[in-house]
Structure 1
């Protein structure tokens, strides 16, 4: 760890010294060049400077995505404090956590603790978010419960993805990069006026190649990307008071899946083959049974793969009524998931899974908001969603040669009414109050888990509902013209749901509730050369949803999402941006969190198994008191970036490095510790002064750090496997605008 701290210090000192030495030769661009930029956000459904918003908020600009190596929403964890995003067990199902609040599951049917929005349209199922990251204006990450401003209610926070809008003047451009393992990415757009009062924008991206893993037995490569997406946007000024924004996005992902590594020697079930522990970083293995290949519709030579596609369409209509603004958002999403993963990392069929899902979501939102300049700003809204998700997965598990299928059909109907209001008491004090009422019905039809060749039993129907009130009370107080203090208490609610994997019972788990207390300061110092923001929080958690166990009297142990009666989390964040010299920008962020169970009697699987006959029935259930046990998430992350822009001899040069440290994590699935790690990226680009093109070099994971995302203990805790992340890659980039 010391070498990374030293490297960070050397980078800062070197760039600072270089910039100081060249300050006289740099072409000054005015007073604004030595100030932190003002960022306009729409986190509260209206345009505001980010420093005037009394919530914990991080913003990543669209132009920063390539520099920070953000190509999917998952990569935000390396740029935002107290945020983690895991692709569960190397698959295409991401799970988001903010300030320790978030799930760890690989099925696709349950709501996320973090709301994901693309141009104000909610994506309630996170598997659908993997193709949204192109032609982006900015990303806004809000920490803490949300519900008085957004279409859906969440306990963890919200990620707002804002895409680039059509422009009145003609513009076009592209960004292309090529790198290690023959990976390339090309993104382009064209934008301008189509007809009087009608603007349009068309953007597309494709990402190909990059196979970096190989099969230990055959040498076959794994890891090629094959992702393409296209988005069209129209802005139509229907009249002087009505504007309509239409958007449609189609994405397809036929990429290879992630290969796993063996963390220890592995003996194949019922076979004399024993694999040694994997030592080579890129090594992996896979295989598919004839039965699995048949249901997946692939050949016996199939690699781990994804075959997903999605289509989103939305219409946002805004009308100025004179006394208020009326906004209507109508959206429809459809998504198909087909995904094969090999979790045992061998050519044998010890832990193989094929996921299949069809998702359809219709949503309608209406908002009425004030548009005057008075001290009272108000907004009331209503949101309706109708969702269906059909699917499940087939599995081959160790010790069972037969194909196992767990299928289900789920429907969701949700309706919420919400309001968000603020009152400016005087020049310094602003009071905030928000309230939400929500009702929801979830129904699941399933025959449970069926082992071939047994016929499926008659499906059973399960129901769970939600009728909850949530809200927020807060204040914003201007300590000075450039310093804002804020404090709030909020109640957030996340839906209950169903465990849909390896279960003969789909009895629902309950909603979880968070009471969040937060206080923070936002400040611009030294003539806005230094921006320093910080926040502290305490969360009182009720019925926290966690991975646990349940026992069926006949079939025995079941993995299941359960509820912890009481727990708590506390911590904070610090974010700093400093412009000490013309062209030099230093950004740093630090997040810390910890928590523990306050009341939790959990089933002890080992003791329960030992207390019952090997083949059942399982009548004796033994629990242990886990009160006082620390919650399982990384305690700390630290990140930042250093960039320097220089004009010299008719050329514009930019050098940038960014880095992130993430603390160790306890893997519940494998009962082991995933080590802490540092990641470093670097970029250098150059362009003739005033030209329309720019060329650059980039390197990601600069120090070739080995790090893991998740571990899989389904083969037994003595035989866990892990999904490694990619090592150092490097390449070139060319950007051009017309």
Structure 2
């Protein structure tokens, strides 16, 4: 008997789960009702069931029950969403509906906008720094070009932290935990009224430490360790009957360790081994979470965020001002090759300061018309300082025998030493926006949104220079390369190249005039600037068939600002000549419905969408050069559904499923197997998009096992599924067939005893209970280094947590 393909079997299984769950719930009479979920996704407090937007809202209590303790956990219960923690928990990489970020450069903004208390966070390394004392999490799927603006082509994530209250019902808690890998956590929050009825204050903080789960053989310190400390002060001031203000200051710091990649050699040798260019072959005896890295080191981030929100509350409108200031920096010592020799090691460093101001008018008129209108200004100054250490160890002579005709650039790289890349970027953004709501009848409404954005990106400083392994300056490529050759060296004839690898003594003579640098300088290449003026927006209609059923249809346009190439190149470039990636755009068409069923004991939301994706930005690695490029065009089709149900007083279910069909319709990239011919291009049209699995799903169940007069024993079991996905636009072409991840499940659980009065709880928890082995990122570095790079996802973790509420 013929069996269905894995993806199709998964689809059938998940569909059957949805149908059987709905059938089971419908057979249960007098089920308890679900709680209403309020969100501020459209800049006003509304129920998720009343807004024609695909949004998932999770309360702080829900986050606790699901075991979310970092931003990396967000994607576990949201359809068509993934979160990668390739660079640690404080630097998550988000993907929604196939719209993702493959660029690891710190100057690049994510296409998923991340907001903390309405403050936009540009640097990706700041996205996980505020994930403690959270009141609510909101994930908006689809372009948010009207109310959120640029860099939200895929969606937006709102993290709303707790604000002190005046009714005495504010959350006050102390939570402590311990787990494997030496993990310890301590989180607390408390508040009080400093002036009764006028001024309230809240203090909260979190400490999280562990020894790391990536074992580095022969080293005393493991990789992927966490040492996080964060604190927040929140002030709530009711100035008078009309005016109020909330100020929040968050400071956080992580002094952890980098997650060392695993390097898999892809250069075959006559003796049957696969090696990298230093001759290293990863031993099969190493476990999935073990490496022999020689240079993996610190991963440090620091974030200071201040947000001031002021409201003037009139009888039928509100004026709001949101001012923010962010100071964040980042440093990482990454052993990119993941082996015991000096092949490719990178020191990443970045420092960013930004501020923003949003002024808006929000109406609460009686009648059919309401409006939100505002003005926005933002500015970011980001300085990047990356150091690439290349071929500290000499290549293995077997490389000559293995690839005599396709050596790539390896012979020329062995005397490079260090490449230091310094770049400053300034991003200025100004916008005017409005979203108008027309309720033509009690059941039929329309939203019309429009936003005009003016972005100016400036690169006032760029320098690419070469140093010796000891850090002594040698020369500069940009500025000053006199040859006009966009390469770090001038090629020698093949006999000279082979001689270098065969006899290291010939190195200095053969390469003495080979490098195309000018005299050493710290001066800058000419300043570059680009200004973009863009219109984005939305038009949507919705119809409520009853109090329980609402359907909607919409068209929206999203825009991600252009960006300067944060990778290595060797001659000064122009805006149109490779120094800058143009903006990307999405035209999104969506239909969906939202339904509260069975007396509000079951909630079912679903959507279908089509994206016309133009000029998608992504990083393309060719040799040791990195190019931020635009794909000509691509398309994304998908459907998704979410189900929540209170089946009984004891049982609550949550399920989500998403299906994607993605395709590059226009894309040509360099053939990385023939680097001698820079004009050799590969047509990749028809390939799937990066990080866009065809099937994804999640399920969560809460069941109260035992009920007593003093408390109850409850279990939460949740699981998430990700289908097969590619990490490269090449898919399986040109030696990229291994840059992928097969489908996998992650299963988590929590067993807890909860006091009936809410005063305390004691819980046992576990994540990735089946110890699934999977990768969250991969990169093909075969062309000049002979290996593929993989970053592993976390193994099984478990622990105990005690919480006291007062």
TM-score (norm 2): 0.82
Q: Does 1:534 align with 2:606?
A: yes
Which residue of structure 1 lines up, in the alignment, with residue 790 of structure 2? 722
The structure 1 residue matched to 2:587, chosen from 515, 528, 533, is 515
SS in 2 for 1:443: strand
Provide the rounded CA distance (Å) in 2 between the counterparts of 1:409 and 1:252: 23
The aligned residue for residue 403 of structure 1 is: 418
Unaligned runs of 5+ in 2: 1-5, 266-272, 392-412, 468-472, 480-522, 731-735
Please say if residues 587 and 613 of structure 2, whose CA atoms lie closer than 8 Å, have aligned partners that are also in contact.
yes
Structure 1 residue 54: deviation in Å?
0.3
Identify the range of structure 1 (152-161 vs 48-57) with the bigger mean alpha-carbon deviation.
Answer: 152-161
User: Counterpart in 2 of 1:622?
Assistant: 680
Change (3 A) 1:330 1:313: same
Distance in 1 (alpha carbons) for counterparts of 2:452 and 2:653: 43
Number of the residue aligned with 1:299: none
Alpha carbons 1:343, 1:712 under 8 Å: kept = no
The answer on whether the counterparts of 1:584 and 1:642 sit within 8 Å (CA) in structure 2 is yes
Matches of 1:211 and 1:675 in 2, distance apart?
A: 25
| Alignment map for 1:563-712 (pairs within 5 Å) | 563-607=630-674, 609-611=675-677, 621-632=679-690, 633-645=692-704, 648-650=707-709, 651-668=711-728, 671-672=737-738, 673-690=740-757, 692-712=759-779
Quick one: which of 545, 558, 567 aligns to 2:625? 558
CA contact (8 A) 1:286 1:304 kept: no
Superposed counterparts of 1:43-58, under 5 Å:
43-58=41-56
Give, in whole Å, the separation in 2 of the partners of 1:186 and 1:720: 38
Distance 1:501 1:88, change over 3 A: farther
Q: Which moved more, 1:580-589 or 1:718-727?
A: 718-727
1:292 matched residue in structure 2: none
Deviation at 1:594, TM superposition (A): 1.5
Matches within 5 A, 1:293-372: 303-372=296-365
Runs of 5+ unmatched residues, structure 1: 24-29, 289-302, 551-555, 612-617
> Does structure 1 residue 459 correspond to structure 2 residue 466?
no
Task: Name the structure with the higher strand share.
Answer: 1
Task: Evaluate the alpha carbon distance shift between residue 736 and residue 93 of structure 1 in structure 2; reply closer, same or farther with a 3 A threshold.
Answer: closer
Equivalent in the alignment of 1:244 = 245
- Give the 5 Å matches for 1:412-491: 412-452=427-467, 453-456=473-476, 457=479, 458-460=523-525, 461-491=527-557
Residue pairs, 1:165-184, within 5 angstroms? 165-168=163-166, 169=168, 172-184=172-184
1:284 to 285, 291, 303: 291
Answer yes or no: is 1:383 the counterpart of 2:376.
Answer: yes
Mark the structure with the bigger radius of gyration: 2
Q: Residue 364 of structure 2 aligns to a residue in which SS? A: coil
Identify if the C-alpha distance between structure 1 residues 605 and 277 changes in structure 2 by more than 3 Å, giving closer, same or farther.
same
Mapped partners of 1:492, 1:459: distance in 2: 34
Shift of residue 111, structure 1, vs aligned partner: 2.1
**Cα distance per residue 1:650-707 (max 9 Å; x no partner):** 2312111000010112232954221211000011111343351111111111111111
How far apart are the structure 2 equivalents of 1:636 and 1:486?
Answer: 24
How many residues matched?
A: 698
Contact 1:260 1:285 in 2 (8 A): no
Distance of 2:66 and 2:758 partners within structure 1? 24
Given candidates 54, 79, 83, the residue that maps to 2:81 is: 83
- 8 Å CA contact 2:605–2:641 kept in 1: the answer is yes
Structure 1 stretch displaced more, 713-722 or 648-657: 713-722
In structure 2, how many angstroms separate the alpha carbons of the residues matched to 1:549 and 1:677? Answer: 27
Task: Assess if the C-alpha contact under 8 Å between 2:644 and 2:655 holds in 1.
Answer: yes
2:805 is aligned to 737
Q: Structure 2: how far apart are the matches of 1:496 and 1:107?
A: 14
Written as runs of structure 1 = structure 2, the 5 A alignment for 1:194-273 is 194-196=194-196, 197-218=198-219, 220-264=221-265, 267=275, 269=277
* Residues in 2 aligned to 1:7 and 1:130: alpha-carbon distance in whole angstroms: 34
Residue pair 2:85, 2:793 contacting (<8 A) in 1 also: no
How far, CA to CA, are the matches of 1:725 and 1:46 in structure 2? 37
Of 64, 69, 72, the residue aligned with 2:70 is 72
Task: Tell me if the contact between 1:318 and 1:325 (Cα under 8 Å) persists in the aligned partners.
Answer: yes
Q: Is the 8 Å Cα contact of residues 709 and 725 (structure 1) preserved in structure 2?
A: yes
Q: Which residue of 1 aligns with 2:190?
A: 190
> Is the 8 Å Cα contact of residues 502 and 558 (structure 1) preserved in structure 2?
yes
In 2, distance between residues paired with 1:184 and 1:524? 41
Alignment partner of 1:496 out of 550, 558, 562: 562
Contact 1:93 1:107 in 2 (8 A): no
For 1:210 and 1:645, the matched residues in 2 are separated by 34
Given that 2:637 and 2:661 are in contact with CA atoms closer than 8 Å, whether structure 1 keeps it comes out as yes
Which is worse superposed, 417-426 or 150-159?
Answer: 150-159
> Matched residues in 2 for 1:691 and 1:53: separation?
32
Distance 2:651 2:316 in 1: 46
Report the CA distance between 1:433 and its aligned residue.
Answer: 0.2
